[in-house]
Structure 1
Amino acid sequence: MRTEGDFIKINESLLPLSWLYGIGVRFRNWLFDVGLLKTRAFGIPVISVGNITVGGAGKTPHVEYLIRLLENHVKVGVLSRGYKRKSKGYVLADQDTPMSDIGDEPYQMHRKFPDIYVAVDKKRTEGIDRLQYDDATKNVDVILLDDAYQHRYVKPGINILLVDYHRLIIYDKLLPAGRLREPQEGKSRADIVIVTKCPKDLKPMEFRVLTKAMNLFPYQELFFTTLDYRPLLPVFGDPQATLPLGDLQGKNILLLTGIASTRQMVQDLRQMMNIGTHDDRLRQLQFGDHHDFKDKDIEAINDTFAAMPEPRLIVTTEKDAARLIFCEGLSEEVRKALYALPIKIKFMLDEEENFNSKILSYVRKNSRNSILVKSKDDHKSKDSHHSGHRTGTISFRNN
């Protein structure tokens, strides 16, 4: 069996600092647990998606999955803090909102789903109030909180914790020795835990080992998801001129990223290209997560691509594309060759219907506009394909 936590590196010399950091985090959580710091519940369905590690666990693809599941049933609002944005306070995205005002991930979702509300606010309770009561958005039926697992001032109706397969929290340590934002027992606040970025070829025994290792409580449900790639989209040019994944074979590829972890993406790209681990036809140009591309970075991109032999192509993520489209100085060759690789998530072990049912049932039972939601929920979600499926009921315990 492969090692699940195979991307974990612990700096043991920093463990004493991690111990001190843990005291502070545990004290803060205790203040919430005993009620000295107040948590607010809301009269509208609120679903939180987040993690307890620094770096990406696939939050955006999972939020987008929820959007696709819900948008034909109810009016969806997404609330994020807008990491690295240059604005302050509450901002509701409209057709003229620049990426710098809301951040790359909210901008990506706003472009892909123009019929939903996308807002940013560091203070999530105030953001939820604005979405509920402002005239522009008061018809919102459900709010998805992006990256809010540690934001305990909000009590979500469903709390979804994402755990990267390559960096399982059970093997990690607290900051700064590891990358945990809080002790792993913080997973107990989750109603649903999803192990993300799983290899597609996991064996039944590996699922059983992972399930036992996660050691969840009876009230919690565990799911596994893997990455599902779609045809490549040109970052510049006609968005309809997609490139099939099979066209990656026989080309020299530059993987250009500014994300937390490319490990699974690299493995999957090599499979698409039908090349081995050490084949230099796949090269990488990696920057930090949410990287703000500077002139020297643009120069490095131009020079690296120019030095590659034909036929050649640049592959990037949708999140990076949201920043790259605003970058000046990219060569004409780079602009023509730059493609984004869209990612969706796919539930493993045939658990998609189970997950969908829990989400739809919660929203239907708790929506302010219950008559509308019930009538719409009589139809299948566009992500559900099994005939005869009926949405069941679900009761989550109080967090």
Structure 2
Amino acid sequence: MPHFLAFLLLPFAWLYATVLHVRNWLYDKGIKESARFAIPVISVGNLRAGGTGKTPHVAWLVRELQVLGQQPAILSRGYGRRTRGYVEADATATAATIGDEPLQHYQDFQGQVPVVVCENRRTGLEKLFRQEPPPTVVVLDDAYQHRRVQPTLNILLTEQQRPFYQDYVLPAGRLRESRGGARRADAVIITKCAPDLTASQQAASAARVRRYTRSAVPVLFSAYRYGAPVAVGGAARVESPEVVLLTGIAQPGPLREYLAGAGYQITHHAAFADHHTFTAADIAAVAGQLRPGQSVFTTQKDAVRLLEPALQAAVAALPIFYIPIQVEFLADGAAQLQQLLSPLFQPHAVV
């Protein structure tokens, strides 16, 4: 957003921030009720709207919880779905019924981890815990501002290139609430970092984050590791380094940088808004950009929307591949996060 426009919008941002500050104050003082649960609830969220890497970090957490011998479940609002209320993912789920990110989780864990969507996380948790057998821990995807639930562990994500401490509240910036909201975090993860981020650079960023958090809160750093292309359409392998990129995510920049560094040449980028609902016309337009031997690259989150029933025939006719990503922590970040997880499942001494 141009600086002059952001300046003009500042009064509206101040008004919005004030409303949210009053709301948060009511929850902090107990005037508005925030439910606590006996079973651990881990929230992963952000202050900035869109694109901080919640989905791969939720997946990392779920895998770690499985290593700890837990039976985790994932609860999301299900942004972009065309349903309402409590819906549990199954083999018939689509992006339209549960949302693209929950569907990605369901597919990643091959249905072995319960994935549930419910716009009211408190209602969703209550129903999840009544299941037999109930999960031993629930990971809330994108629930940092959902104050009706008090998480056992509150993890805040912020991008290295767009940290919350350099941003402003909507509409002057992209923050959902003021920077002071970071004080609720039990850990902060600076995401999408360069793998070679130096210790001094990490220390400088951590110091700026700690202006807004509680003093003992750890500040961790993570990067993406990209995998080999996975076929979505009709081709079995990538034939040429020249590719057409198709994205409907908030921040495609890191993927573009990775592809360039890996030797791919992007001849055309069909960039859509985050959670875009692809149409047959979109697919036809992308097909029209393909040259002989070229492939279409996309993200895994986009791929689940491309495989909606109405698009499957068109997608199957094209050489489409998604680039998988996994989270890797810098320095001892993984060990620090594991140290926060383990105590959640240790029995408490009886006094």
Query: Does 2:40 correspond to 1:45?
Result: yes
Deviation, 1:84, is 1.2
| Residue 388 (structure 1) aligns with | none
Q: TM-score, normalised by structure 2?
A: 0.91
Per the alignment, residue 106 of structure 1 pairs with 102
Gapped runs of 5+ residues in structure 2?
none
Please state how far the C-alpha of 1:68 moved relative to its aligned partner: 1.2
User: Is 1:296 matched with 2:281?
Assistant: yes
Instruction: Give the counterpart of 2:321 among 336, 339, 343.
Output: 339
Tell me which residue corresponds to 1:89.
Answer: 85
**Contact residue 129 and residue 135 of structure 2 kept, 8 A:** yes
For residue 246 of structure 2, the aligned residue among 243, 247, 256 is 256
Q: Is the 8 A contact 1:41 1:156 kept in 2?
A: yes
Aligned partner (choices 214, 218, 221) of residue 221 of structure 1: 218
Q: Is the 8 A contact 2:167 2:173 kept in 1?
A: yes
Provide the rounded CA distance (Å) in 2 between the counterparts of 1:185 and 1:333.
Answer: 45
Taking only the aligned residue pairs, the percentage that are identical comes to: 35
Contact 1:8 1:167 in 2 (8 A): no
1:232 to 222, 229, 232: 229
Report the AA paired with residue 161 of structure 1.
L
Secondary structure in structure 2 of the residue aligned to 1:346: strand
C-alpha displacement at 1:300, in angstroms? 1.7
Indicate which of 326, 333, 341 corresponds to 1:351.
Answer: 333
Would the aligned equivalents of 1:105 and 1:319 in 2 still touch at CA under 8 Å?
yes
Letter in 1 for 2:254: Q
The equivalent position to 1:168 in structure 2, one of 163, 180, 183, is 163
Matches within 5 A, 1:1-399: 11-72=6-67, 73-113=69-109, 114-135=111-132, 138-215=133-210, 216-236=213-233, 251-273=241-263, 281-305=266-290, 308=291, 310-326=292-308, 328=310, 335-365=317-347
Which deviates the most, 354-363 or 103-112?
A: 354-363
Distance 1:346 1:121 in 2: 29
Query: What CA distance in whole angstroms lies between the structure 2 residues aligned with 1:270 and 1:318?
Result: 18
Distance in 2 (CA, whole Å) between partners of 1:96 and 1:332 is: 20
CA contact (8 A) 2:234 2:320 kept: no
Q: C-alpha separation between the residues in 2 aligned to 1:324 and 1:134?
A: 32
Amino acid of the structure 1 residue aligned with 2:93 = T
What value does the CA root-mean-square deviation take over the aligned residues?
Answer: 2.3
Shift, 1:332, TM fit? 6.3
Secondary structure of the corresponding residue to residue 134 of structure 2: coil
Equivalent residues of 2:233, 2:315 under 8 A apart: no
| Aligned residues of 1:236 and 1:325 also touching (Cα < 8 A) | no
Q: Tell me, what secondary structure is at the counterpart of 1:293?
A: coil
After TM superposition, the score normalised by the length of structure 1 is 0.81
1:31 to 1:128, Cα distance in 2 relative to 1, 3 A: same
User: Cα distance 1:132–1:339, how it changes in 2: closer, same or farther (>3 A)?
Assistant: same
Give, in whole Å, the separation in 2 of the partners of 1:261 and 1:128. Answer: 30
Number of equivalent positions: 344
* Contact map agreement 2:222 2:329 (CA 8 A) in 1: yes
Closer/same/farther in 2, CA of residues 108 and 212 from structure 1, 3 Å limit: same
